[in-house]
Structure formats: structure tokens, C-alpha cells
């Protein structure tokens, strides 16, 4: 049995739906019709989308400072591995670990008896040389008298003069031997080269100490002041300078310690891409110890007359730093080199010129280079960095 044929009314209803859908789609696409619902022959290409509205800011000259936080540690300004200067048996070690000593205080004593004997021998040798010199001087005087009376030849006088010169040299040599023996005897008592704390005691009494290789007895550290050292990323190399203010925080120590940068390394560590800065830390009460961890904040000196751009204009992709500059209605990606960085501003060392406008805000991160854009609003230019003091960079 054949199925009944669809009624003409149903056919017309389906055709109407298809026509309405087609007309709706045509209305969405620009250029699909002439505005009266009638399609124009040859018109099927869509118009370009309107330029994207973006927020921009002007690159200006102004003043900027920077706040950099970095981990670091405290180290002694001076640390000495104090060893023996003369070989011998260590008779007495006068200090223990943790002891504070003043400059010149005795640290340990080498058995002095062998050096006392050596000094006595040297002094005896000097006396002998001195007597010999006196005798030869007397001989020369007598020879000259005899020569004056034509009793001896001139060669006799010359030999006497030579003997005197040799005796004088021996006396001088013996005198130097006495000085060396006295010095070695003094060296049996080893003294602190400066005031500080004994941080390690390496040997005890009864140890036979050598000069080569040198036997180290104690390690001494200067403790009235320490040095804070921090490693800074190389991106800040041009920002940190000697004299910049620094604040050092040590856990367990009351308050913070204010100081200034005293040294900046000349080279970057190629392995870590960091460089080291140093600052002195006063330690009058000797509470701070070498080796402790410190949190260091550096505030760079404000510099004026530098090119500034908003920090949110910076775009970093695959290790490259760029900004999007508004040029002829297009977003042009321009590589830049940055200097100081504050909470909301960056110093631009190269890449853009004063007066150019850069895309800022969210659009700076999402707009594709080459996209057609227009300014939505203008951010007033700032000529002075307004970073909040407590805001991290």
C-alpha cells in the first residue's frame, strides 16, 4: 500500500522555514544584500571588522626609583685561619670556640725552649764576631804604623784591611742571626691580628705543628661589623649602584638594619645569571653571626630624565621583551631593553621614543601584532614614578 502523498500545505510550510533561515543568515553577513532584503549580484565578500578599541599611554621622560628584594647572608668582614709561624710542639692553646679576643691577645703558645737556645747561640756568635772585628781593626792600625816607619810592605797593610772587612761582614751577619732568633722566639707566641671571635679551634696541646704545610690552630672572625651579600638577577645590573639604600632583615633580630650598597660585582655569574652586591652591617652588640640568612631590600637612587613606560605595557614572549606601539592604526610589536622597574613604571633603554603611544592593560597581552586598533581612552602621562613604598617591585 502506497504512503499518502504530503499535502500541498505542509510542503509550502517547510519551504517557508528554509527561506526564512536563509534570509536570516544573509542579514547577519555584511554585504549579503542591498539593505532591502534583496541580494545584489556579485556581492558575497564580508567587510573588514572595525578596529579594536584599546587603551594606550604615552612614553614620557621622568624620574624612577626601584625596590629590589633578594635573599642573602651575613659574612664576616675578615676571617683568618691562624696558624703557626715556626715549627714546634704546641704547648698551650689559650682560647676556646666562642671566645672573644682583643687585637694582640695571645691565642696559643709553641714550646719556646728550642728557640731560646737558638737565641743564646746567635748572641754568642755575635760576641765572637764582634771580638774578631775588634782584633782585625787593631791589627790594621798596627800595620799602618809599621808601614809609616817603612818596617813592612804595603801588601801587609792591604791584607790587614781585607781581614777587617771580612770581620765586619761576619759581625753584621751575626747581628742579623740574633734578630732572626729573637723574631722566631717571639713567634712562638701567636697573637690575634685583630679583635674578633674564635669560631673554630682545630688542634689541642701536644700537637706537633709544621710550617709547610702550615698547621692551622684557630679560625678568627672579625665581629664588630659584618657584610651582607645578596645575589641579584642580571636584569637589575644597570639599576643598582654603590650608595643605594638597603634594608637588611634577619629573623630573630629586632627590627631592621639600615645600610647602603658598598660594592657591586663587575661580572655576572654565567651559571646563575646573577651578580653579587655587598653592604656593611654594624654589629656593635655582637649578636649577629656570620653565615645567617638575611632578607635584603635595595632601594635604588631615583634617576630623572629617563624614558618611562607603564609596567603593564610590557609583553614577554619566549624570552623576548616587547611593547605594542600604536602606529598608523596598527599594533606594532617593538623589542625593548628595560632598565629600572618599579611597581607601575619601567625604564626603557631602547626600542621606543619619547611621545610614542603604547598599548597598556589587558589588551597589551592579547592583541596580536599587526591588528587594526584605535585608542579607547588616554591614560594621563606621569613624569614621576609613584610606586607605593611598601609595594613590591
User: Mean pLDDT, to the nearest integer, of 279-296?
Assistant: 92
Given the C-alpha cell 617591585, which residue does it identify?
A: 393
Is the pLDDT reported for residue 42 higher than 50? no
| Assigned domain for 38 exists | no
Confidence band, pLDDT 50/70/90 cuts, at residue 65: confident
What CATH number has the domain bearing residue 288? 2.40.30.170
User: Mean pLDDT, to the nearest integer, of 222-250?
Assistant: 90
Percent of the chain clearing pLDDT 90 (strictly above):
65
What CATH number has the domain bearing residue 339? 2.40.420.20
Q: Tell me the C-alpha to C-alpha distance, in Å, between residue 313 and each of 250, 309, 370.
A: 36, 7, 16
Q: Are residues 162 and 138 in the same domain?
A: yes
Q: How many domains does the chain have?
A: 4
Q: Are residues 149 and 257 in the same domain?
A: no
Burial class (CB in 10 A: 0-12, 13-18, 19+), 393: buried
| Assigned domain for 2 exists | no
Is the pLDDT reported for residue 278 higher than 80? yes
| Assigned domain for 41 exists | no
Buried b / exposed e over 50-78, threshold 16 CB at 10 Å, is eebebbbbbbbebebbbbbebebbbbbbe
| Assigned domain for 261 exists | yes
User: Mean pLDDT, to the nearest integer, of 28-36?
Assistant: 43
Tell me the per-residue pLDDT of 184-195, one tens digit each, with 9 for 90 and over.
999 999 999 999
What CATH number has the domain bearing residue 156? 1.10.287
User: Mean pLDDT, to the nearest integer, of 254-266?
Assistant: 91
pLDDT at 383: 47
Between 52 and 2, the more confident residue is: 52
pLDDT at 33: 44
| Assigned domain for 284 exists | yes
Tell me the per-residue pLDDT of 199-215, one tens digit each, with 9 for 90 and over.
999 999 999 999 999 99
Tell me the per-residue pLDDT of 93-123, one tens digit each, with 9 for 90 and over.
999 999 999 999 999 999 999 999 999 999 9
Domain C-terminal end among 283, 302, 321: 302
Residue 117 C-alpha from the chain's centroid: 53
| Assigned domain for 334 exists | yes
Closest CA to 81 of 199, 230, 237, 239: 199
Between 239 and 332, the more confident residue is: 332
User: How is residue 343 annotated by DSSP?
Assistant: S
Q: Are residues 264 and 253 in the same domain?
A: yes
| Assigned domain for 135 exists | yes
Q: Are residues 100 and 198 in the same domain?
A: yes
Is the pLDDT reported for residue 334 higher than 60? yes
Q: Are residues 93 and 209 in the same domain?
A: yes
Confidence band, pLDDT 50/70/90 cuts, at residue 393: very low
- pTM of this prediction exceeds 0.85: no
Domain C-terminal end among 140, 163, 187: 187
pLDDT at 164: 95
Q: Are residues 295 and 227 in the same domain?
A: yes
| Assigned domain for 350 exists | yes
Q: Are residues 213 and 235 in the same domain?
A: no
The Cα–Cα gap between 303 and 390 comes to 19
Is the pLDDT reported for residue 283 higher than 80? yes
Q: Are residues 288 and 233 in the same domain?
A: yes
Q: Are residues 94 and 209 in the same domain?
A: yes
The Cα–Cα gap between 122 and 40 comes to 124
Between 31 and 365, the more confident residue is: 365
Element containing residue 375 per DSSP (H, E): strand 373-379
Domain C-terminal end among 302, 337, 357: 302
pLDDT at 43: 53
pLDDT at 382: 52
Q: Are residues 161 and 183 in the same domain?
A: yes
Q: Which residues contact 206 (CB under 8 A, 6 or more apart)?
A: 89, 90
Q: What is the sign, positive or negative, of the torsion defined by CA atoms of 205, 211, 217, 223?
A: positive
What CATH number has the domain bearing residue 99? 2.40.50.100
Q: Are residues 99 and 196 in the same domain?
A: yes
Q: Are residues 205 and 104 in the same domain?
A: yes
Range of the domain at 92: 80-108+192-220
pLDDT at 294: 94
Tell me the per-residue pLDDT of 340-380, one tens digit each, with 9 for 90 and over.
887 788 899 999 999 999 999 988 999 999 999 999 855 55
Amino acid at each position: 500500500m502506497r504512503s499518502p502523498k504530503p499535502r500541498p500545505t505542509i510542503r509550502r510550510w517547510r519551504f517557508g522555514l528554509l527561506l526564512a533561515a536563509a534570509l536570516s543568515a544573509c542579514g547577519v553577513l555584511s554585504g549579503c544584500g542591498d539593505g532591502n532584503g534583496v541580494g545584489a549580484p556579485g556581492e558575497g565578500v564580508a567587510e573588514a571588522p572595525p578596529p579594536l578599541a584599546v587603551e594606550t599611554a604615552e612614553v614620557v621622560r621622568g624620574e624612577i626609583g626601584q625596590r629590589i628584594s633578594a635573599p642573602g647572608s651575613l659574612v664576616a668582614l675578615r676571617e683568618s685561619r691562624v696558624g703557626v709561624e715556626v715549627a714546634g710542639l704546641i704547648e698551650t692553646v689559650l682560647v676556646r670556640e666562642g671566645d672573644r679576643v682583643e687585637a694582640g691577645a695571645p691565642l696559643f703558645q709553641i714550646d719556646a725552649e728550642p728557640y731560646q737556645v737558638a737565641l743564646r747561640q746567635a748572641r754568642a756568635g755575635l760576641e765572637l764576631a764582634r771580638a774578631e772585628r775588634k782584633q782585625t781593626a787593631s791589627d790594621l792600625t798596627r800595620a799602618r804604623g809599621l808601614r809609616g816607619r817603612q818596617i813592612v810592605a804595603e801588601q801587609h797593610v792591604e791584607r790587614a784591611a781585607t781581614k777587617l772587612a771580612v770581620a765586619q761582614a761576619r759581625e753584621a751577619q751575626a747581628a742579623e742571626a740574633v734578630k732572626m732568633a729573637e723574631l722566631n722566639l717571639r713567634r712562638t707566641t701567636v697573637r690575634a691580628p685583630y679583635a674578633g671571635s674564635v669560631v673554630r679551634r682545630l688542634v689541642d696541646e701536644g700537637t706537633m705543628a709544621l710550617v709547610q704545610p702550615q698547621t692551622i690552630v684557630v679560625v678568627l672572625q672579625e665581629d664588630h661589623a659584618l657584610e651582607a651579600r645578596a645575589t641579584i638577577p642580571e636584569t637589575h645590573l644597570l639599576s643598582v649602584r654603590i650608595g643605594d639604600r638597603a634594608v637588611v632583615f634577619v629573623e630573630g633580630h629586632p627590627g631592621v638594619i639600615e645600610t647602603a650598597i658598598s660594592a657591586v660585582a663587575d661580572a655576572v655569574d654565567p651559571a646563575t645569571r646573577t651578580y653579587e652586591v655587598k653592604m656593611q652591617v654594624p654589629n656593635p652588640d655582637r649578636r649577629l653571626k656570620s653565615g645567617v640568612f638575611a632578607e635584603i631590600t635595595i632601594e635604588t637612587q631615583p634617576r630623572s630624565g629617563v624614558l618611562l613606560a607603564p609596567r603593564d605595557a610590557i609583553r614577554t614572549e619566549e624570552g623576548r621583551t616587547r611593547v605594542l606601539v600604536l602606529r598608523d592604526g596598527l599594533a606594532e610589536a617593538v623589542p625593548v631593553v628595560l632598565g629600572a622597574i618599579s611597581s607601575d613604571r619601567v625604564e626603557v633603554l631602547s626600542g621606543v621614543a619619547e611621545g610614542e603611544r603604547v598599548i597598556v592593560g589587558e589588551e597589551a597581552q592579547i592583541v596580536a601584532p599587526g591588528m587594526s586598533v584605535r585608542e579607547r581612552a588616554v591614560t594621563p602621562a606621569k613624569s614621576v614614578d609613584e610606586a607605593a613604598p611598601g609595594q613590591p617591585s
